[in-house]
Amino acid sequence: MSQGLNLAQLDAVNYVSGPCLVLAGAGSGKTRVITHKIQRLIQVGLEPKQIAAITFTNKAATEMRERAKGLIGKAAKDVVICTFHALGVRIMREDGQVLGLKPQFSILDADDVVSILKDCGGTTDAATARQWQWTISLWKNQGLSAAQAEALAPDDNARVIARIMARYEERLTAYQSVDFDDLIGLPLKLLAEHEAVRAKWQKTLGHVLVDEYQDTNATQYEVLKHIVGERGRFTAVGDDDQSIYGWRGATLDNLKRLPQDFPQLKVIKLEQNYRSTSAILRAANNVIGPNPKLFPKTLFSELGEGEPVRVVDADNEEHEAERAVARIQSIRAGTSTEGAAKHREFKDFAILYRANHMARSFEQALRRAQIPYKVSGGQSFFDKAEIKDLCAWFRLWINNDDDPAFLRAITSPKRGIGHQTLAQLGTFATKYKVSLFEALFASSLPSAVSSRAVHGLHEFGRYINDLEHRARHTSGKEDAMRFLTEWLKDIGYEKHLYDSEDNESIANARWTNVLEFCDWMAGRCGGEIEDATGAQATERKSLLEVAQTISLISTLNEREEEQNVVTLSTLHASKGLEWPHVMLVGVNEGLLPFKLGDDDQPSGQANGPMSEGILQRLQEERRLMYVGITRAQRSLAVSWTRRRKKGRETVAGVPSRFIGEMALDKATVKEDPREKLKALRAEFAQRAARTPAAEN
Active-site positions? 30-31, 211-212, 242, 631
In contact, 474 and 542? CB cutoff 8 Å: yes
* Closest C-alpha to 89, from 101, 72, 78, 79: 101
In contact, 394 and 468? CB cutoff 8 Å: no
Task: Give the span between the Cα atoms of 361 and 368, in whole angstroms.
Answer: 11
Query: Hey, is 375 helix, strand or coil?
Result: strand
State the sign of the Cα–Cα–Cα–Cα dihedral 184, 188, 194, 200. Answer: positive
Task: Give the span between the Cα atoms of 166 and 6, in whole angstroms.
Answer: 52
> What distances in angstroms separate CA 261 from CA 296, 378, 690, one per listed residue?
20, 40, 76
* Closest C-alpha to 224, from 238, 237, 236, 214: 236
| Amino acid identity, position 591 | L
* Closest C-alpha to 638, from 556, 686, 568, 583: 583
Number of H helices, E strands in the chain: 28, 18
| Amino acid identity, position 20 | C
* Closest C-alpha to 289, from 625, 587, 665: 625
| Amino acid identity, position 659 | I
| Amino acid identity, position 168 | Y
How many residues does this entry show for the chain?
696
Task: Give the span between the Cα atoms of 406 and 120, in whole angstroms.
Answer: 18
Residues 6+ apart with CB under 8 A from 637: 309, 310, 311, 312, 324, 327, 582, 583, 584, 671
Task: Give the span between the Cα atoms of 534 and 65, in whole angstroms.
Answer: 9
* Closest C-alpha to 79, from 46, 33, 45, 30: 46
- Locate all alpha helices (DSSP H) within 417-492, ordered by sequence: 419-431, 436-440, 451-472, 477-491
Q: State the Rg of the chain over Cα.
A: 28
Task: Give the span between the Cα atoms of 550 and 161, in whole angstroms.
Answer: 30
Q: What angle do CA 33, 36, 42 make, to 5 degrees?
A: 140
CA atoms within 13 A on the CB side of 27: 28
